């Protein structure tokens, strides 16, 4: 008997070799001469005390305590006995394969695929053949039988063919909760007990790759590998000279040829599968493997990835560890690195193990995902193979959760370019904020090719829902499996109804890097499910790193110049590359700033708002007596784009576009009056008597069904009822389709009304059509006139550009971006995923079996918001040029993307020519007051409308003098509840004062804009009166929200837990509207994700408004108390009511609304 190695030998080895079982002894496959390469062979004497076999085995097991492997010679034949006796499939016998061997493997793979396909198809047919109401156990048996046979044959083939088939089964072993358990049980073996190469091949590969004998490098080398993978195996060794214990990864002999052949086989299989089932197209995955496998076969790439990951995790300060490579003794097929002894990640599923070692598995897994997110978005490196065999944990009480995750096998990695990395970052930031335009803009920049003709609004929202479902928080294995079953049932139902799949032919092509990223996510999610770790917020973690990555990239000039997202779309220019507005603006004499103390005051206000988190980017411009006395920019282009706002930065006008269009229409109307006056009396003129009382039908005969008596005064003053005349199917595409919207108003009869309701979004459509009607010669073709949506910017430039307005279409690289960050949306619950699925199914059924109930042709603003809140999302303003999936060359988006500078707005409204036009047309007469809560919120409190479509404003002198005397000043302008505003006060100072404020954060835009306007007015000794939130508005909001379940997330924003207790006060009986808020909170207090986007800005408005808000008077026995408060929320208002009620014990309670 000969023992290899041993305690007396300078080198200790363990060798596990292929052998055939025979009577408890196994035949050794190699000559002793080959084994002698690794060290000395020591003789061992055995005395026979029983049967020969028993004696030999007992002696061998005893000797194995000091010798890692035992060789023995029996009847002249070298044999080996080991406690672990692998079968024939446990050896990596890929060296020296012939052409015939490769063809045999290829044919067997194709035959297996055909067998699995037929078996699965038969199971599907048998399942669908079951009658409704049949025993579910019968259906389970059908699938259990098919799955068991498929899993067993796939594993057997992987062990036989090895190569890429091993890697494929390893990937599928991570799909816990997605694939049936039988697959996981079979494929897990391929991650733990893989075939290994023989010691002779290991010696040969090391010697050939390093160019020297292994004995000159290693003092000790364990011949039995500690791990084996599809490409190589890892041995424990000790470096000669230093004695340091290392891990040596050695590539299997001949594996490169095997993988290249397998790639060709898989490419053929992918084409065949598409032929069988077109919806199962994994050709992109094969293409990605064809690109990455050659790099994975070169260990020098893995060595570079290890060094890169080690540096990134160190910079992050993460507990996640990777083995450090030894570059001087590594090469293409041999990689020497740190040896890290660790437990399998699956040990986290063992409750007893976690309790004994005081481990928090949720913290450990979150630390791992956080490190991977940092590596992807900040460093641009994706680990594509983090399955259970490559992720382990090392107990460490100092690490978060009590253990440090260890990431092995960095061969399958993908480096992202800056374009890919930052596009992916923008995608996650947009996905976390439900920003439809940002999502599809990022997808196009990332490399997705979308069929814009098929990308409907419904499909866009469906795709967004599916994207969020991919990033949902982790749930239990049973919940994951149930969700997978529902998803498959959805696919089957859709296919049965003949409906196309979600992506269908919309996604014509997609980048290969996304396959790699999704593979990584699937692996980590599988680890979470297999370890029963719930609540890991994938989207939240990735979004945090995505934001940081984009912010950092925006500060680097080289990246800004090279990445398309920063350049974005160029503004659509007229001939010569300059807009008409720019031509007229350039012709004006430049207005110069005095650098007054007002600028320092405004800057101080900017800084205070920014310190409170109420400001992202803004501009303030003030013109007095024709001179620009203040022009201050501040902040950044968005919450993630850190480029600074300058005086030339343009901000989206959002809802202010309608008011600006009213000014353009008034200018055009005044010009036509001038033409009429210049005509000789004997010459008939179609334009005579044109004024604000002229009927709309004079310029637009088809309006209101062709029989409308609505006047220009009523339309401009929002007294037509347009707010309740939205198309019944109003969706995002309506924002960009002027033709369809105009045709809707030509069919809809709008009777005259005495009530005033702000026509949000729709007003600019009507004004643009009226402008077309006033210039019939502009467009010879009637259809072209109706589709002149791309000419709105040119129209505004023509009418107002000469006055200083520098209007453009949002989308230039240096423009500010409308932003809205909602951290609560970065968590995706299973409830949200299921709700989205139910909504999709109900939409399909409605299309297949349309309801016979007659639906009104029009919808109110509230109903339209409820049905499709995405259409009212202010972030729709960011759709511009090529960034839009369906906008085309000239995106209209209800005028939301139109942009300008604060300086341009202030210069325009301060123009004496414009003032003269307004006076001539009597456009500043009061038309009506919008008393609705929606009107107040959408206009920032400026609800008094003039006959010319402007908002009438009032300011009051500050301090005691303002209370003693009625010192008021009046003005007019355009005020949007989302922030942008421009206003003129003729009597505030000599020559008049014009104030323009632009902001880009729509959540806090109204608050920031109101503070800035108040600061400017304070410098003149006045304060605004329109910014106070009236109690009636709050009460009406409470009633609206209580009736609408989609507003539940808004209610969460309005009140914290402490405020909820206040809302239960009986004092709320004094205000039924506020009491409705409490009812709504009790009904809708749940974890359902999603926010009614239309209401988001107004939630923050109520919560953060610091202005004097309410006044309450309580009378009791002739004693009067007056309470004034700066309301932070409805909850605090309820607390104040309760205090008043306690003081006025049995008094009758009154509320005075201001």
Number of C-beta neighbours around residue 834 at 10 A: 15
CA angle 713, 715, 717 (to 5 degrees): 65
pLDDT at 1090: 28
Closest CA to 870 of 377, 257, 430: 430
Which is more confidently placed, 864 or 1013?
A: 1013
**Beta-strand runs (E) in 107-175:** none
* 662 contacts 716 by C-beta, under 8 angstroms: yes
pLDDT at 1129: 45
109-123, 328-342, 755-769, range with greatest mean pLDDT: 328-342
**Beta-strand runs (E) in 823-950:** 858-859, 898-900, 926-929, 944-946
Q: How far apart are CA 29 and CA 433, in angstroms?
A: 62
The pLDDT of 723-751, averaged and rounded, is 84
Q: How far apart are CA 261 and CA 105, in angstroms?
A: 9
The pLDDT of 15-23, averaged and rounded, is 33
Asked if the model's pLDDT at residue 48 lies above 50, the reply is no
The pLDDT of 260-276, averaged and rounded, is 80
Asked if the model's pLDDT at residue 621 lies above 90, the reply is yes
pLDDT at 659: 93
Confidence class of residue 810 from pLDDT cuts 50, 70 and 90?
Answer: low
**Pairing label, strands 617-624, 993-999:** antiparallel
Q: How far apart are CA 160 and CA 101, in angstroms?
A: 12
Which is more confidently placed, 782 or 494?
A: 494
Count the residues in the chain: 1154
Question: What are the residue ranges of helices labelled H in 277-331?
Answer: 283-296, 299-316
Asked if the model's pLDDT at residue 353 lies above 90, the reply is yes
pLDDT at 854: 54
pLDDT at 699: 87
pLDDT at 112: 85
Confidence class of residue 365 from pLDDT cuts 50, 70 and 90?
Answer: very high
Confidence class of residue 229 from pLDDT cuts 50, 70 and 90?
Answer: confident
Which 3 state secondary structure label does DSSP give 336? Answer: strand
Query: Whole-angstrom distance between the N-terminal and C-terminal Cα of the chain?
Result: 104
pLDDT at 43: 41
The pLDDT of 411-427, averaged and rounded, is 92
Global pTM reads 0.78
The pLDDT of 291-306, averaged and rounded, is 89
The pLDDT of 1132-1143, averaged and rounded, is 50
Asked if the model's pLDDT at residue 70 lies above 50, the reply is no
Confidence class of residue 1052 from pLDDT cuts 50, 70 and 90?
Answer: very low
% of the chain residues with pLDDT over 90: 27
Q: How far apart are CA 60 and CA 63, in angstroms?
A: 5
* 227 contacts 236 by C-beta, under 8 angstroms: no
pLDDT at 299: 93
Of the given ranges (57-61, 530-534, 1075-1079), which has the lowest mean pLDDT? 1075-1079
pLDDT at 850: 67
Number of C-beta neighbours around residue 431 at 10 A: 25
Asked if the model's pLDDT at residue 1106 lies above 60, the reply is no
Residue with tokens 């060595």: 303
| Average pLDDT, rounded, for the chain | 75
pLDDT at 811: 58
pLDDT at 822: 78
pLDDT at 1017: 94
Which 3 state secondary structure label does DSSP give 407? Answer: strand
Report DSSP state, residue 399.
S
Asked if the model's pLDDT at residue 146 lies above 70, the reply is yes
Report DSSP state, residue 32.
H
pLDDT at 664: 92
pLDDT at 118: 84
CA 366 to chain CA mean position, Å: 19
Which is more confidently placed, 431 or 280?
A: 431
Asked if the model's pLDDT at residue 1042 lies above 70, the reply is no
Residue with tokens 């837990």: 1057
pLDDT at 325: 94
Largest CA distance in the chain: 140
Treating both helix axes as pointing N-terminal to C-terminal, what angle do 361-374 and 299-316 enclose, rounded to 10 degrees?
110
Question: Could you give phi then psi for residue 1150, rounded to 5 degrees?
Answer: -125, 145
pLDDT at 891: 66
Report DSSP state, residue 377.
I
The pLDDT of 454-471, averaged and rounded, is 85
Which is more confidently placed, 1048 or 1151?
A: 1048
Please list, residue by residue across 921-931, b when 16 or more beta carbons sit within 10 angstroms of its beta carbon and e when fewer do. Answer: bebbeebbebe
Question: What are the residue ranges of helices labelled H in 193-251?
Answer: 199-210
Q: Per residue in 82-108, pLDDT tens?
A: 333 334 445 666 666 777 878 888 888
Which is more confidently placed, 495 or 788?
A: 495
CA angle 1057, 1062, 1068 (to 5 degrees): 140
pLDDT at 1038: 59
Please list, residue by residue across 946-981, b when 16 or more beta carbons sit within 10 angstroms of its beta carbon and e when fewer do. Answer: bbbbbbbbebebbeeebeeeeeebebbbbbbbbbbb
Q: How far apart are CA 331 and CA 210, in angstroms?
A: 7
Report DSSP state, residue 375.
I
Confidence class of residue 454 from pLDDT cuts 50, 70 and 90?
Answer: confident
Confidence class of residue 1053 from pLDDT cuts 50, 70 and 90?
Answer: very low
Asked if the model's pLDDT at residue 1149 lies above 70, the reply is no
% of the chain residues with pLDDT over 70: 70
Q: Per residue in 628-647, pLDDT tens?
A: 999 999 999 999 999 999 99
pLDDT at 236: 92
pLDDT at 871: 84
CA 185 to chain CA mean position, Å: 34
Asked if the model's pLDDT at residue 1121 lies above 80, the reply is no
Asked if the model's pLDDT at residue 232 lies above 80, the reply is yes
Asked if the model's pLDDT at residue 866 lies above 90, the reply is no
């Amino acid at each position: 008997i000969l023992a290899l190695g041993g305690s007396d030998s300078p080198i200790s080895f363990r060798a596990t070799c292929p052998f055939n079982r025979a009577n408890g002894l196994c035949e050794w496959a190699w000559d002793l001469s080959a084994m002698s390469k690794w060290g000395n062979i020591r003789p061992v004497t055995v005395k026979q005390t029983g049967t020969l076999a028993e004696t030999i085995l007992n002696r061998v097991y005893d000797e194995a305590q000091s010798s890692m492997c035992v060789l023995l010679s029996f009847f002249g034949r070298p044999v080996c006995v080991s406690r672990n006796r692998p079968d024939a499939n446990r050896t990596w016998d890929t060296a020296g394969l012939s052409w015939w061997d490769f063809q045999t493997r290829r044919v067997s793979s194709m035959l297996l695929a055909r067998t699995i396909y037929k078996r699965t198809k038969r199971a599907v047919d048998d399942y669908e053949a079951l009658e409704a109401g049949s025993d579910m156990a019968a259906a389970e048996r059908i699938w259990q039988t098919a799955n068991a046979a498929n899993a067993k044959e796939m594993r057997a083939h992987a062990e036989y063919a090895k190569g890429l088939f091993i890697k494929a089964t390893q990937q599928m072993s991570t799909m816990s909760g997605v694939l049936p358990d039988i697959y996981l049980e079979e494929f897990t073996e391929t991650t733990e007990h893989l075939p290994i190469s023989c010691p002779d091949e290991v010696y040969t590969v090391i010697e050939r790759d390093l160019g020297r004998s292994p004995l000159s490098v290693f003092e000790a080398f364990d011949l039995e590998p500690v791990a084996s993978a599809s490409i190589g195996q890892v041995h424990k060794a000790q470096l000669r000279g230093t004695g340091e214990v290392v891990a040596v990864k050695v590539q299997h002999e001949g594996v490169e040829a095997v993988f290249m052949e397998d790639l060709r086989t898989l490419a053929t299989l992918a084409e065949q599968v598409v032929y069988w089932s077109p919806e199962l197209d994994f050709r992109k995955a094969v293409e990605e493997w064809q690109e990455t496998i050659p790099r994975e076969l070169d260990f020098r790439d893995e060595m570079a990835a290890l060094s890169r990951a080690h540096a990134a995790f160190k910079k992050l300060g993460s507990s996640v560890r990777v083995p450090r490579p030894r570059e001087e003794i590594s090469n293409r097929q041999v990689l020497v690195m740190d040896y890290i002894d660790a437990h399998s990640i699956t040990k986290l599923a063992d409750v007893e193990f976690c309790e004994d070692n005081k481990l928090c598995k949720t913290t450990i897994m979150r630390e791992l995902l956080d490190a991977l997110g940092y590596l992807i978005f900040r460093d641009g490196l994706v680990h594509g193979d983090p399955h259970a065999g490559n992720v382990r944990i090392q107990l460490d009480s100092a690490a978060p959760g009590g253990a440090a995750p260890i990431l092995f096998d960095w061969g399958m990695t993908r480096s992202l370019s800056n374009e890919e990395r930052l596009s992916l970052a923008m995608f996650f930031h947009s996905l976390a904020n439900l920003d439809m335009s940002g999502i599809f803009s990022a997808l196009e920049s990332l490399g997705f090719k979308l069929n814009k003709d098929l990308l409907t609004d419904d499909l866009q929202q469906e795709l967004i829902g599916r994207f969020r479902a991919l990033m949902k928080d982790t749930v239990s294995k049973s919940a994951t499996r149930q969700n997978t079953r529902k998803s498959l049932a959805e696919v089957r139902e859709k296919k049965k109804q003949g409906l196309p799949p979600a992506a269908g032919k919309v996604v014509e092509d997609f980048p290969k890097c996304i396959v790699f990223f999704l593979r990584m996510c699937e692996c980590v999610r599988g680890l979470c499910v297999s370890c029963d770790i719930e609540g890991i917020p994938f989207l939240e973690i990735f979004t945090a790193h995505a934001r940081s990555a984009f912010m950092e990239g925006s500060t680097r000039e080289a990246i800004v110049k090279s990445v398309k997202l920063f350049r974005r779309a160029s503004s659509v220019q007229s001939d010569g590359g300059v807009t008409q507005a720019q031509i007229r603006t350039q012709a004006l004499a430049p207005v110069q700033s005095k650098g007054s103390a007002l600028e320092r005051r405004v800057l101080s206000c900017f800084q205070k708002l920014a310190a409170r988190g109420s400001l992202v980017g803004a501009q303030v411009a003030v013109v007095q007596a024709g001179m620009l006395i203040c022009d201050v920019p501040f902040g950044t282009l968005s919450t993630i784009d850190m480029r600074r706002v300058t005086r030339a930065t343009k901000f989206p006008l959002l809802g202010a576009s309608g008011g600006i269009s009213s000014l353009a229409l008034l200018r055009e109307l005044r010009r036509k009056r001038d033409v009429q006056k210049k005509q000789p009396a004997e010459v008939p003129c179609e334009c005579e008597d044109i004024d604000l009382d002229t009927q709309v039908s004079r310029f637009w005969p088809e309006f209101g069904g062709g029989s409308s008596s609505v006047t220009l005064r009523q339309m401009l003053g929002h007294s037509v009822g347009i707010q309740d005349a939205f198309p019944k199917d109003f969706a995002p595409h309506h924002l960009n389709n002027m033709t369809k919207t105009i045709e809707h108003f030509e069919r809809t009869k709008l009777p005259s009304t005495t009530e005033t309701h702000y026509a949000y979004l729709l007003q600019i459509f009507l004004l643009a059509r009226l402008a077309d009607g006033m210039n019939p010669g502009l467009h010879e073709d009637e259809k072209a006139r109706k589709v002149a949506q791309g000419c709105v910017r040119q129209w505004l430039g023509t009418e107002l550009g000469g006055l200083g307005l520098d209007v453009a279409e949002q989308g230039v690289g240096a423009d500010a971006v409308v932003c809205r960050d909602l951290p609560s949306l970065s968590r995706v619950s299973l409830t949200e995923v299921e709700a989205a699925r139910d909504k999709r199914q109900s939409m399909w059924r409605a299309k297949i079996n349309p309801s016979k109930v007659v639906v009104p042709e029009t919808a109110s603003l509230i109903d339209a918001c409820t049905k499709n809140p995405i259409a009212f999302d202010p972030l729709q303003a960011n759709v511009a040029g090529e960034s839009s999936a369906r906008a085309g060359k000239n995106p209209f988006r209800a005028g939301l993307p139109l942009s300008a500078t604060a300086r341009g707005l202030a210069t325009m409204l301060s123009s004496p020519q414009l003032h003269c036009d307004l006076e001539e047309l009597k456009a500043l007469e009061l038309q009506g007051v919008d008393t609705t809560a929606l009107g107040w919120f959408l206009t920032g409190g400026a609800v008094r409308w003039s006959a010319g479509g402007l908002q009438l404003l009032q300011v009051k002198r500050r301090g005691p003098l303002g209370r003693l005397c009625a010192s008021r000043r009046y003005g007019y302008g355009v005020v949007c509840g989302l922030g942008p505003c421009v206003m003129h006060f003729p009597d505030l100072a000599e020559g008049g004062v014009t104030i323009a404020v632009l902001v880009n954060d729509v959540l806090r835009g109204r608050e920031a804009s109101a503070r800035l306007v108040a600061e400017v007015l304070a410098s003149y000794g006045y304060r605004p009166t329109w910014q106070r939130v009236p109690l009636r508005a709050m009460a009406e909001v409470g009633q609206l929200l209580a009736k609408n379940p989609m507003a539940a997330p808004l209610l969460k924003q309005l009140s914290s837990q402490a405020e909820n207790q206040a809302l239960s006060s009986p004092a709320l009986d004094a205000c039924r509207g506020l009491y409705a808020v409490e009812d709504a909170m009790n009904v809708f207090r749940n974890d359902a994700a999603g926010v009614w986007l239309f209401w988001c800005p107004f939630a923050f408005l109520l919560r953060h408004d610091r202005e004097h808000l309410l006044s309450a008077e309580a009378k009791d026995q002739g004693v009067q108390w007056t309470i004034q408060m700066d309301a932070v929320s409805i909850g605090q208002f309820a607390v104040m009511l309760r205090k008043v009620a306690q003081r006025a014990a049995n008094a009758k309670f009154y509320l005075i609304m201001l």
